[in-house]
Chains A and B, each alone.
Chain A
Amino acid sequence: MIISENTFNNITVIALQGTLDARNAPQLKQFNSAGAAANSIVINLSEVDFLDSSGLGAIVSITRLKRSQGGDVILACMNDKVRNVFEITHVYKLFDIYDDVEAATLNAEKKQTSL
């Protein structure tokens, strides 16, 4: 499900792939970045083709944890199907959401340096 993780300038970009549902939500919830706890994370969702409320809950869960540690989670590249779940549940309001990973990473860097 997590296909790659890269850390640069204290920002960790993780790329997810496939389906985020009740089968793999627990694995995502327990995700421990190799970077420092206070590093912000950009989640690249470009290869996620389906997400249900279990996957959504896992993303909310790791976001709460990250923010409690002084970092943040920023989302990038969600397709219309995934975006629809974020919109119906209003969970999109929790996040900065970008159409490309570069813009999301720049935003994460700006936020991190302003802290």
Chain B
Amino acid sequence: MITVITLPAEIRFVRLASLAALQVAEIFIDSLNPSQSDPGFCDAFELSVSEAFTNSVRYAEHPEQDKTITISFSSENNKLTVSVSDTNSPFNPDTPSPDLSSYPENGYGLFLIRQLMDSLSYKREEGTNRISMTKQAYCSQNYNP
């Protein structure tokens, strides 16, 4: 399964991006085991894509250049991966976690993604940043604690 969505790098499209992620995750879970839902799995994709898309828009230096953000999904066995790509300047994804004890107003994006997903990777290729986020679904037929 490969699904690709390209949206303008504008914040008004963030909900479209997160809802697309939610729907793809729901369809993926249903394809694994139609009798079992996993709202935590689907919610993780919805929130992670909202955070990644928001970061991409926030760091788009020249929004007047009709920039776009591409969201692609792929699956392997019971793992679903979503990648969010943009053409912003390269960045260091290994930012320290926010100081949770001081309850900051921002800086939670990558922290939340790391908490919700099994893995997060970053690649810079041919002028494109790509953040890939993977999570494994635990359904009764393949649950292996």
* Inter-chain contact B51/A52, CB cutoff 8 Å: yes
- With a cutoff of 8 Å between Cβ atoms, the chain A residues found around residue B46 in the complex are 50
A35-79 interface with B by 8 A CB criterion: 50, 52-54, 56-58, 60-61, 64
The contact string, 1 if C-beta is below 8 Å from chain B, for chain A 70-94, is 0000000000110011001111011
List the B residue with the shortest CB-CB distance to A57.
B105
* Inter-chain contact A23/B100, CB cutoff 8 Å: no
Given contacts A53-B51, A88-B115, contact A21 B108 (CB under 8 A): no
* Inter-chain contact A52/B54, CB cutoff 8 Å: yes
**Residues of B in contact with A (beta carbons under 8 Å apart):** 11-12, 14-15, 18, 39, 43, 46-47, 50-51, 54, 57-58, 98, 100-101, 103-106, 108-109, 111-112, 115-116
Kindly state whether residue A10 has any CB partner on chain B within 8 Å. Answer: no
* Inter-chain contact A21/B100, CB cutoff 8 Å: no
Kindly state whether residue A14 has any CB partner on chain B within 8 Å. Answer: no
* Inter-chain contact B103/A52, CB cutoff 8 Å: no
- With a cutoff of 8 Å between Cβ atoms, the chain B residues found around residue A52 in the complex are 18, 47, 50-51, 54, 112
The 5 nearest A-B residue pairs measured at CB:
A53-B108, A57-B105, A90-B100, A52-B50, A22-B54
Kindly state whether residue A17 has any CB partner on chain B within 8 Å. Answer: no
Kindly state whether residue A19 has any CB partner on chain B within 8 Å. Answer: yes
Chain A proximity of B108: nearest CB distance (Å): 4
List the A residue with the shortest CB-CB distance to B43.
A81
Give the dominant DSSP class at B's interface.
helix
- With a cutoff of 8 Å between Cβ atoms, the chain A residues found around residue B50 in the complex are 21-22, 50, 52
Complex alpha-carbon distance, A50 and B105, angstroms: 18
- With a cutoff of 8 Å between Cβ atoms, the chain A residues found around residue B109 in the complex are 53
Chain B proximity of A83: nearest CB distance (Å): 11
* Inter-chain contact A54/B54, CB cutoff 8 Å: yes
List the A residue with the shortest CB-CB distance to B100.
A90
Complex alpha-carbon distance, A22 and B12, angstroms: 8
* Inter-chain contact B54/A57, CB cutoff 8 Å: no
Chain A proximity of B114: nearest CB distance (Å): 10
A/B interface sample: 11 pairs, CB < 8 A: A19-B15, A22-B57, A50-B46, A50-B50, A54-B54, A57-B105, A57-B106, A61-B105, A85-B112, A89-B100, A89-B112
- With a cutoff of 8 Å between Cβ atoms, the chain A residues found around residue B11 in the complex are 22-23
List the A residue with the shortest CB-CB distance to B102.
A90
